[in-house]
Amino acid sequence: MTSLKERLPSLGFIGPVLALLAACAFFATQTDRFFTGANLSLVLQQVMVVGVIAIGQTLVVLTAGVDLSCGMVMALGGVVMTKLASESGVPVPLAIASGIGVTSLFGAVNGLLVTAIKLPPFIVTLGTLNIAFAITQLYSGAQTVTDIPEPMTALGRTFALGGTSTVYGVVLMLALYAVAWFALRETASGRHVYAVGNNPEATRLTGIPTHRVLMGVYVMAGACYGIASLLSVARTGVGDPNAGQTENLDAITAVVLGGTSLFGGRGTVLGSLVGALIVGVFRNGLTLMGVSSVYQILITGILVILAVTADQLSRRGQGGR
Amino acid sequence: MADAFTPFTVTPHGDATAPKLVMQASGLVKRYGHVTALDGMDFELRDGEILAVIGDNGAGKSSLIKALSGALVPDSGDIYLDGNRVHFRKPLDARRAGIETVYQELAVAPAMTIAENLFLGRELRRGGMLGTVLRMLDKPRMLRETAEYLAELKIGIRSMTQAVETLSGGQRQGVAVARSAAFARHVVIMDEPTAALGVKEGTQVLELIRRVRDRGLAVVLISHNMPHVFQIADRIHVARLGRREAMLDPKRVSMSDAVAVMTGALRGDEVNEAASAREV
Amino acid sequence: MFWRHALVSSVILASSASSSAAAQKPQPIIGLITKTETNPFFVKMKEGAKAAATARGAKLLSGAGKNDGDNAGQVTAMENMIAAGAQVILITVNDSKAIIPTIRRARANGVLVIALDSPTDPVTATDALFATDNYKAGQLIGQYARKALGTRSAKIATLDLLPGHPVGAQRHNGFLKGFGLAAPTASINTLGKPAEVVCMADSYGDQAKGQTAMENCLQKNPEINVVYAINEPTAAGAFKALKSAGKEKNVVLVTVDGGCQGVRDVGSGAIAATAQQYPLKMAALGVEAGVAFVHTGKKPSGYTDTGVALIAGKAIAGVESKDVKTGLDLCFGRK
């Protein structure tokens, strides 16, 4: 008896999809190098790292929080796993697990500070951002880690798909999005994330352990940043302590462009994938057109304002807060 | 002889002649430093009745309700449910015992649908592997049952997939009440159910409360709205200074008398004696 | 009586001699403020400063901003150092304009302020500037790239820093000039774009962004055969993209910096050539000038070129270059 409306994606998701399609259509008319299999596959690879970070960021934003530490934590994860594997001789799977373990631990710290000490997520993650950056610089000696064992970059290997090729990392990203989409939409824990973001007091009164939900969100987000760091290592072939400097804002941009509300409780994780693709498409398309990257920054800024405005207007129309 | 408005002493397992008590409390005390919220508050709720709790600010009605719903742990005193002593340390304990609460702020997630809100924290999972391994929700079943619960209480909302924030105040109250009625086994507690509503919607909620009672649940409600109290309550519990001042029968005393007992201008036994005298 | 007079006089003479000697040779206290603590470029600079200071009996105080662009941190460091008695400040400025009031106050109090590596805006706000000539650095690699390309017609991709940055503009325009193309002069902050430049993209000096920029440029024009990268991490990213596209053998990739990792990349053939800068020399010259100022009052002035050398894997006739081994001896970062 589920109505059609219940099964269709919400309006909040359709907007970003239309924007993405419009951008693609525009660039297809401006240059014939845009709409090729090779180029589109490239864009997917280019958004792969931010895309996975954005999954974690979406979880946090759905609880009306924000995670500014995501980029730096990702860099830390990348440095940890590459240094362990290349310099300490740790077996690759263990090194990868350690990197993801470290990023998840940072997520747990964020979660603890938010739930137990009740500090605002913005402030907490501003602090952990700096701590993660400092630890990364100290541990790496500000040197990029090269000479990485080949298996660690396996996700960067290409394989043929249709008439073109793509990398395994993209497949992993899409798989993670599918898992996140299912969990948020079809499981009780996922619905509880929305409930905590929409009305934390109500959620508490219905007996849901809100602290546990928030801790889960931050730890899962940390794990996402760890997986993103593996993808970054696979793509660039190095453990770069200076990576991730702008990824926190890039991820938040992707989440906002994807229609998720910064006030919590509303949005979709697939929207963040669309948001990340929008940014990637513009960067790629403008370069193909020979337009200065300043315009990419300008357009991204305009799109963010449009996206937030659209979210506000649609909620006002529904009589929401 | 015990009658409608003379308080009973505690009878752990009830006796054959007295109406069945679904909930009782005696001597509830709660202090916060120098402030005394409950000063030996007694309470009784009969099976299948609608009991209104009235009192001035600071009289102890909120604290009483919180103690009954597990949101407050009294310093001393006992609470009985169906004749058995109970100790509620948190709201979940009261819920598990079959007592549901409709909070004044409604405790709904506005962006989520009616069905999601109804089953919030009590979601139904699909059978088999989908439910156990993938932990997938049984959305069709939740939609169906939500529609049934609302229809049972004659709440006129068409689509269970509407977001709660699109509903009017009265409809939202209806959803909150339906949620409590759906899962309560003994008692539904309501905190100011008609406070935020206009005349028409307020009346509809009163009808709703009656239907909840008709389903076999006892209802305790706090209200400042005297006309509503007198329209709907079977009995009135007057709280004053942290104690139960009196039990009144709305069919036999007037609203102004009730207010007078509330403020202490008149004593409860005076009002009841006067009422009895009138009937003779 | 005479001997008593002589004793007293000689004691007085001796003490006044030693005090005037002390007055003539106060210990120079030199403050070094870098952009960040951890960038190997600045680590090397600090090493050079410390060595030079020790050699000349000077005391070195050091500080830095928290990150690239942190002006407030540098202001605080400068104020603290002057309060601690520093007579000379050597600074690599994070913000070429915002730091000026603090510098002006310092100079008004008689402190010598020398800019290292990055000029202030205007450049005269400091007593002197010891820095790499970034335009010249670009020219060196431009000349090399032109010769390395041989007779092929050039299709150039430039992976730049970010819009409006003076160092980025100087290296880019210098590269074009060295390559033999029409180019803006060293004082212009906008990037030249002659027809041979078929793609311009920004990398923000970041390896991953450099890779993305190179990928997009290759999509735009698969025939690119020359790549100029703003710095070595960007070049490393560009190389990865070239390798993934199977084009790394036919493309001449040049860049600037001379860090040890970058020089190793030249050695492995990933980068064709890099223009090496000398942060150690900047610091040493700065300390020398500072000590001279404290002892003699002589101030340095104007711009001193701290030198840049082309490090190339393959020497090419007509372009002077040093080999990789020399580059490794002189590089900054982990060897």
Q: Pick from B96, B132, B135 the residue to mutate for testing the A interface (most A CBs within 10 Å).
A: B135
| Residue C254: predicted pLDDT | 96
| Residue C152: predicted pLDDT | 93
Q: What's the mean pLDDT in C238-248? A: 94
pTM: 0.86
Say whether B163 and A320 touch across the interface (CB within 8 A): yes
Note whether C194 and C50 are same-domain residues.
no
Determine if the peptide bond prior to A209 is cis (ω within 30°).
no
Say whether A143 and C220 touch across the interface (CB within 8 A): no
CB C62 within 8 A of CB C46: yes
Establish if C236 touches chain A: CB-CB under 8 angstroms.
yes
Say whether C40 and A143 touch across the interface (CB within 8 A): yes
pLDDT at residue A1 tops 60: no
- Structure confidence by residue, pLDDT tens digits, B30-47: 999 999 999 999 999 999
At A29, list the tokens.
């008319």
Of B105, B111, B161, Cβ closest to residue A266:
B111
- C1 located within any domain: no
- Structure confidence by residue, pLDDT tens digits, C97-138: 899 999 999 999 999 999 998 888 888 999 999 999 999 999
Of C163, C215, C237, Cβ closest to residue A42:
C215
User: H/E element holding A284?
Assistant: helix A269-289
Q: How far apart are CA A181 and CA A175, in angstroms?
A: 10
pLDDT at residue A95 tops 60: yes
pLDDT at residue C68 tops 80: no
User: H/E element holding B84?
Assistant: strand B84-86
Note whether C316 and C173 are same-domain residues.
yes
Cα atoms in the 13 Å half-sphere on the side-chain side of A170: 17
| Residue B10: predicted pLDDT | 44
| Residue B92: predicted pLDDT | 87
Closest-CA distance of chain A to residue C68, Å: 11
Closest-CA distance of chain C to residue A148, Å: 14
Name the maximum alpha-carbon separation found in chain C: 101
Chain A, nearest residue to B144 by Cα: A1
At C202, list the tokens.
């920004």
pLDDT at residue A7 tops 50: no
Residue with tokens 């909930």, as numbered in its chain: B23
Establish if C208 touches chain A: CB-CB under 8 angstroms.
yes
Side chain identity at residue B217, one-letter code: L
- A109 located within any domain: yes
pLDDT at residue C30 tops 70: yes
Domain count, chain C: 2
| Residue B18: predicted pLDDT | 67
Note whether C120 and C230 are same-domain residues.
no
Strand extents, DSSP E, C92-241: 112-116, 128-131, 156-160, 197-202, 226-229
| B137 DSSP 8-state letter | B
For chain B, the chains sharing at least 3 beta-carbon pairs closer than 8 angstroms are A
Say whether A198 and B121 touch across the interface (CB within 8 A): no
Residue C225's alpha-carbon distances to A284, C24, C181, in angstroms, are 20, 61, 16
Please give the share of chain A, as a percent, with pLDDT higher than 70.
94
- Let me know how long chain C is: 335
Q: What's the mean pLDDT in B24-29? A: 94
Between B180 and C12, name the one with better pLDDT: B180
Partners of B137 on chain A (C-beta within 8 Å) are: 186-188, 191
Between A259 and C17, name the one with better pLDDT: A259
Note whether C221 and C285 are same-domain residues.
no
- C286 located within any domain: yes
Note whether C146 and C257 are same-domain residues.
yes
Q: What's the mean pLDDT in A157-171? A: 89
Establish if A57 touches chain B: CB-CB under 8 angstroms.
no
CB C324 within 8 A of CB C313: yes
Establish if C333 touches chain A: CB-CB under 8 angstroms.
yes
Cα atoms in the 13 Å half-sphere on the side-chain side of A89: 0
Nearest to C298 by CA among C23, C28, C59: C28
CATH number of the CATH domain containing A282: 1.10.3470
| Residue A62: predicted pLDDT | 97
Partners of B98 on chain A (C-beta within 8 Å) are: none
Q: Across all residues in chain A, what is the average pLDDT?
A: 91
Q: What's the mean pLDDT in A109-123? A: 95
Confidence of residue B25 (pLDDT cuts 50, 70, 90): very high
Side chain identity at residue B131, one-letter code: G
Confidence of residue C7 (pLDDT cuts 50, 70, 90): low
> Regarding beta strands B21-32 and B35-46, do their DSSP bridges make them parallel or antiparallel, or are they unpaired?
antiparallel
Q: Assess whether chains C and A touch, using the rule of 3 or more C-beta pairs within 8 angstroms.
A: yes
For the ranges C39-43, C205-209, C275-279, the lowest mean pLDDT is seen at C39-43
CB neighbours of residue C93 within 10 Å: 25
Partners of B162 on chain A (C-beta within 8 Å) are: none
| Residue C37: predicted pLDDT | 83
Say whether A318 and B163 touch across the interface (CB within 8 A): yes
Q: What's the mean pLDDT in A12-16? A: 82
- C335 located within any domain: no
- A1 located within any domain: no
- A8 located within any domain: no
Q: What's the mean pLDDT in C263-268? A: 94
Of A186, A201, A265, Cβ closest to residue B111:
A265
Note whether C36 and C182 are same-domain residues.
no
Q: What's the mean pLDDT in C241-256? A: 94
| Residue C39: predicted pLDDT | 83
DSSP string across A296-319: HHHHHHHHHHHHHHHHHHHHHHTT
Q: How far apart are CA B86 and CA B68, in angstroms?
A: 10
Say whether B107 and A205 touch across the interface (CB within 8 A): yes
Note whether C138 and C226 are same-domain residues.
yes
Residue A269's alpha-carbon distances to B27, B39, C187, in angstroms, are 53, 52, 48
CB A241 within 8 A of CB A66: no
Say whether A203 and B120 touch across the interface (CB within 8 A): yes
- A214 located within any domain: yes
Say whether A242 and C200 touch across the interface (CB within 8 A): no
Establish if C158 touches chain A: CB-CB under 8 angstroms.
no
CATH number of the CATH domain containing C38: 3.40.50.2300
Closest-CA distance of chain B to residue A183, Å: 8
Note whether C146 and C270 are same-domain residues.
yes
Q: How far apart are CA C159 and CA C235, in angstroms?
A: 8
| Residue A162: predicted pLDDT | 80
Q: How far apart are CA B153 and CA B102, in angstroms?
A: 15
Domain count, chain A: 1
| Residues whose CB is less than 8 angstroms from the CB of residue A228 and which lie 6 or more positions away in sequence, other chains included | A49, A50, A52, A53, A56, A74, A77
Side chain identity at residue A152, one-letter code: M
CB C166 within 8 A of CB C189: yes
| Residue C182: predicted pLDDT | 93
pLDDT at residue A296 tops 90: no
Q: Which residues pair with B53 in a beta bridge?
A: B222, B237
Say whether A187 and B116 touch across the interface (CB within 8 A): no
- Interface A-B, measured as beta-carbon pairs within 8 A, has a size of 92
- A143 located within any domain: yes
- A23 located within any domain: yes
Q: Assess whether chains B and A touch, using the rule of 3 or more C-beta pairs within 8 angstroms.
A: yes
- C3 located within any domain: no
Closest-CA distance of chain B to residue A264, Å: 10
- Structure confidence by residue, pLDDT tens digits, C308-328: 999 999 999 889 999 999 999
CB neighbours of residue C303 within 10 Å: 13
Say whether B111 and A2 touch across the interface (CB within 8 A): no
All domains in chain B, ordered by first residue: 21-111+163-279 (3.40.50.300), 112-162 (no CATH)
Boundaries of domain holding C115:
9-130+279-300
For chain A, the chains sharing at least 3 beta-carbon pairs closer than 8 angstroms are B, C
| Residue C235: predicted pLDDT | 96
Q: Pick from A62, A186, A201 the residue to mutate for testing the B interface (most B CBs within 10 Å).
A: A186
Note whether C205 and C314 are same-domain residues.
yes
| Residue C38: predicted pLDDT | 78
Nearest to A231 by CA among A17, A107, A56: A56
| Residue A2: predicted pLDDT | 46
Say whether C207 and A141 touch across the interface (CB within 8 A): no
Please give the share of chain C, as a percent, with pLDDT higher than 90.
74
Of A2, A188, A318, Cβ closest to residue B166:
A318
> Regarding beta strands B50-55 and A158-161, do their DSSP bridges make them parallel or antiparallel, or are they unpaired?
unpaired
Boundaries of domain holding A45:
13-311
Chain A, nearest residue to C202 by Cα: A293
Say whether A236 and C211 touch across the interface (CB within 8 A): yes
Q: Across all residues in chain C, what is the average pLDDT?
A: 90
Q: What's the mean pLDDT in A94-99? A: 97
Q: How far apart are CA B130 and CA B141, in angstroms?
A: 14
At B150, list the tokens.
């609302």
Partners of A199 on chain B (C-beta within 8 Å) are: 107-110
Torsion of Cα atoms, B72 then B78 then B80 then B85, to 10°: 100
For the ranges A218-232, B123-137, C137-151, C230-244, the lowest mean pLDDT is seen at B123-137
At A203, list the tokens.
């959620």
Note whether C99 and C148 are same-domain residues.
no
- A321 located within any domain: no
Note whether C185 and C318 are same-domain residues.
yes
Looking at this predicted complex, what is its ipTM?
0.87
At A195, list the tokens.
């409930």
Chain A, nearest residue to C262 by Cα: A144
Please give the share of chain A, as a percent, with pLDDT higher than 90.
77
pLDDT at residue B253 tops 60: yes
- A171 located within any domain: yes
| Residues whose CB is less than 8 angstroms from the CB of residue B166 and which lie 6 or more positions away in sequence, other chains included | A318, A319
Closest-CA distance of chain A to residue C325, Å: 20
- Let me know how long chain A is: 321
| Residues whose CB is less than 8 angstroms from the CB of residue B84 and which lie 6 or more positions away in sequence, other chains included | none
Please give the share of chain C, as a percent, with pLDDT higher than 70.
93
Residue ranges of chain B whose CB lies within 8 Å of a chain A CB: 91-92, 95, 101, 103, 105-113, 116, 120-123, 125, 134-137, 139-140, 143-144, 147, 159, 161, 163, 165-166
Note whether C34 and C178 are same-domain residues.
no
Of B103, B111, B140, Cβ closest to residue A198:
B111
